[in-house]
Structure 1
Amino acid sequence: MNLPKHLLPTTVVGSYPQPDWLVDRAMLSKSVPRTRMRDMWRLPEEHLEEAQDDATIVAIRDMERAGIDIVTDGEIRRESYSNRFATALEGVDAENPAMIISRAGHETPVPRVVGKVRRTRAVEVRDMEFLRRNTDRPAKITLPGPFTMSQQAKNEFYKDDEELALAFAEAVNAEARDLEKAGANIIQLDEPWVRNNPDLARRYAVKAINRALEGIKVPTVVHLCFGYAAVVPGSTKPAGYSFLSELADTIAEQISIEAAQPRLDLGVLKDLAAKKIMLGVLDLGDPEIETVDVIADRIRNGLKYVAADRLVVAPDCGMKYMPRARAFGKLKAMADAAALVRREIG
């Protein structure tokens, strides 16, 4: 399966809305869980996998219908972007969580790392195989990044957080190699926490990311954002990244950034001249479906800083917390806007 040959290919960051018949969206809306949230699922265990498969097909078809070039499985089987993989690893105790207090003073239950972190089984390989069987479009799958996972757990085993992050990187790398064999055309690491703790990230995040992507032959992406629009209001989002230029030193081919909602000054992209840029052009905090013209202007703005053959068009972040009709409408407008700008630049 080849990647799109045309300029300005479109994709999603990762997640797509899960149906109300599958998940309790009111429960989901309260947090981005680090430990397991099994009560979120509306179906009993014996029917859950089949239901998740059906909902995944709906997500894939929506993306195809909207005109998205590079699709995902919508992360339909996940309670959050990170917890499904992190809690499947040996050495991680999610049943007896620790409590971490956020800067805002909120308590969040997180897994405790109580032993050597090891991947003893495939976690997302069936997801990738299912996606590959159900679309003829290029397919991307996402994994939580090692730095982010190390920040979302309580370290009770390793001598420091760097050692923990590198252990997570080993596990991610083993999974990524199997996902490549299962048919992934692109593999993406989600690393939003590098901007939460930039000083720590500067010490070892790039090292951990590079270990996680070592030996992967298909294109790789690192995604960072300011948080889901449903959880982090636009008014609290900074106007710039505290950790971005450092990602030039990663072996990832692409860097994925949120730009629409925070009205990011794209001048920062000059520091990533060697990378392809997955540019967020959909404001997921805006309840309105942007017009094709508005999105096209955001793409044109990106082209002032990034050559057309290095620009990939995407939403700001995952679409998990949105109503499905809104998510589909935004994706359709985005695909139409990319097609419009593509025609303009020939």
Structure 2
Amino acid sequence: MPQPKHLLPTTVVGSYPQPDWLVDREMLSKSVPRTRMAGMWRIPQAHLEQAQDDATVVAIRDMERAGIDIVTDGEIRRESYSNRFATALDGIDAENPAIITSRSGQKTPVPRVVGKIGRNGPVELRDMQFLRRNTDRAAKITLPGPFTMSQQASNEFYKDDEELAMALAAAVNAEALELQNAGADVIQLDEPWVRNDPAAAKRYAVKAINRALQGITVPTVVHVCFGYAAVVPGDTKPAGYSFLAELADTTAEQISIEAAQPKLDLGVLADLSRKKIMLGVIDLGNPGIETASVIADRIRHGLKYVSADRLIPAPDCGMKYMPRAIAFGKLKAMSDAAAIVRKEVG
């Protein structure tokens, strides 16, 4: 499938709201699970895959109807952006989790790494095949990045976290190659945790990301953000990234950043002049639907720092935690905004 030919192609970061009939949204809203959260699904196991398929078609059609150029499957089959892939790997014990306590005292169950990491079969291949069958638009699929997964687990096997990250990178790479063969037009790695431990990220995140993307010939993206707006309120978000310029050294074609909610100083993009920028222009912390003119202004602001052929408008982050009508309205406004600015620069 060819990439969109026009300037300022719109896309999504990955997730789209799951319907209330499919998931218990109140349970979902309490955390971003690292281990499995089977109780989140409202549909009995015997019918769950069919229900997820139907909800995925709804998400794809919503994105198409909103005018999105590069669509995803909405990550409808996932409990979180990372746990489905991470817990499917050999060497991971997700049934007997470790507990990690954050600086704020929050306790989170995480998978324990108890053996050699291995991928004994595809995890998202059917998702990609289903997406490819159900849209004629450019199709993107997302994978959790190896650095982030290494930070979201308790390492009880490898000599250090770098060795763990490189083992995870090899598993991600094997998956990504299959997804590419299944028709993925874009492959995205989600690496939000590079900002949590920038010292470790500086040592080995780029090496792990490049290993994960080895041999991939379709456009690739690394997504970094400050966390879901529903989980991390805007007034607690930093004004800048602690690990961003370093991503210039990745083999990824695109870097995806959150810029609308944290009101990021876009001068930082000078460090990424060789990359295309997926620019967050929808504030997911705002419960209303921005007008197309507000979003158009954010795109124009981005164009002061990034040329039009390198800018891809997107939401700040995944839209999983939003009401579906609001998510759709925001995407439609973003598509309308991109069309307005496209006429100005085209």
Q: TM-score, normalised by structure 1?
A: 1.00
Match of 1:11 in 2: 11
Q: Which amino acid aligns with 2:238?
A: P
Match of 1:22 in 2: 22
Q: 1:197 & 1:80 partners in 2: Cα distance?
A: 21
Deviations 1:19-66 (A, max 9, x none): 000000000000000000000000110000000000000000000000
SS of equivalent to 1:238 = coil
Q: CA deviation at 1:103?
A: 1.5
Q: 1:292 & 1:124 partners in 2: Cα distance?
A: 34
Match of 1:216 in 2: 216
State the identity %: 82
Match of 1:344 in 2: 344
Q: 2:69 & 2:216 partners in 1: Cα distance?
A: 22
Q: 1:64 & 1:160 partners in 2: Cα distance?
A: 44
Q: 2:168 & 2:106 partners in 1: Cα distance?
A: 25
Match of 1:147 in 2: 147
Q: Which amino acid aligns with 2:145?
A: G
Q: CA deviation at 1:272?
A: 0.1
2:105 matches 1:105: yes
Q: 2:49 & 2:175 partners in 1: Cα distance?
A: 20
Match of 1:184 in 2: 184
Match of 2:95 in 1: 95
Q: Which amino acid aligns with 1:137?
A: R
Match of 1:126 in 2: 126
Q: Which amino acid aligns with 1:133?
A: R
Q: 1:103 & 1:222 partners in 2: Cα distance?
A: 26
Q: 1:283 & 1:198 partners in 2: Cα distance?
A: 25
Match of 1:286 in 2: 286
Deviations 1:268-319 (A, max 9, x none): 0000000000000000000110011100000000000000000001000000
Q: 1:195 & 1:169 partners in 2: Cα distance?
A: 18
SS of equivalent to 2:110 = strand
Match of 2:243 in 1: 243
Match of 1:194 in 2: 194
SS of equivalent to 1:139 = strand
Q: 1:104 & 1:210 partners in 2: Cα distance?
A: 32
Q: CA deviation at 1:104?
A: 1.2
Match of 2:158 in 1: 158
Q: 1:38 & 1:271 partners in 2: Cα distance?
A: 42
Q: Which amino acid aligns with 2:300?
A: R
Q: 1:58 & 1:103 partners in 2: Cα distance?
A: 39
Q: 1:171 & 1:226 partners in 2: Cα distance?
A: 25
Q: 1:58 & 1:274 partners in 2: Cα distance?
A: 36
Match of 1:33 in 2: 33
Q: Which amino acid aligns with 2:111?
A: P
Q: 1:87 & 1:105 partners in 2: Cα distance?
A: 24
Q: 1:182 & 1:108 partners in 2: Cα distance?
A: 35
Q: 1:345 & 1:80 partners in 2: Cα distance?
A: 37
Q: 1:343 & 1:285 partners in 2: Cα distance?
A: 29
Q: 2:154 & 2:245 partners in 1: Cα distance?
A: 28
Deviations 1:80-119 (A, max 9, x none): 0000000000000000000001111100000000000000
Q: 1:261 & 1:215 partners in 2: Cα distance?
A: 35
Q: Which amino acid aligns with 2:112?
A: R
Match of 1:327 in 2: 327
Q: CA RMSD of the aligned region, Å?
A: 0.3
Match of 2:207 in 1: 207
Match of 1:260 in 2: 260
* Structure 1 unaligned regions, length at least 5: none
Q: CA deviation at 1:189?
A: 0.1
Match of 2:313 in 1: 313
Q: 2:345 & 2:209 partners in 1: Cα distance?
A: 35
Q: Which amino acid aligns with 2:89?
A: L
Q: CA deviation at 1:341?
A: 0.1
Match of 1:276 in 2: 276
SS of equivalent to 2:206 = helix
Match of 2:168 in 1: 168
Q: 1:161 & 1:105 partners in 2: Cα distance?
A: 23
Deviations 1:207-239 (A, max 9, x none): 000000000010000000000000000000000
Spell out structure 1 runs of 4+ moving beyond 2 A.
none
Q: 1:177 & 1:4 partners in 2: Cα distance?
A: 22
2:38 matches 1:42: no
Q: 1:339 & 1:101 partners in 2: Cα distance?
A: 46
Q: TM-score, normalised by structure 2?
A: 1.00
2:216 matches 1:232: no
Q: 2:45 & 2:91 partners in 1: Cα distance?
A: 25
Q: 2:292 & 2:23 partners in 1: Cα distance?
A: 31
Q: 2:44 & 2:38 partners in 1: Cα distance?
A: 10
2:52 matches 1:52: yes
SS of equivalent to 2:70 = coil
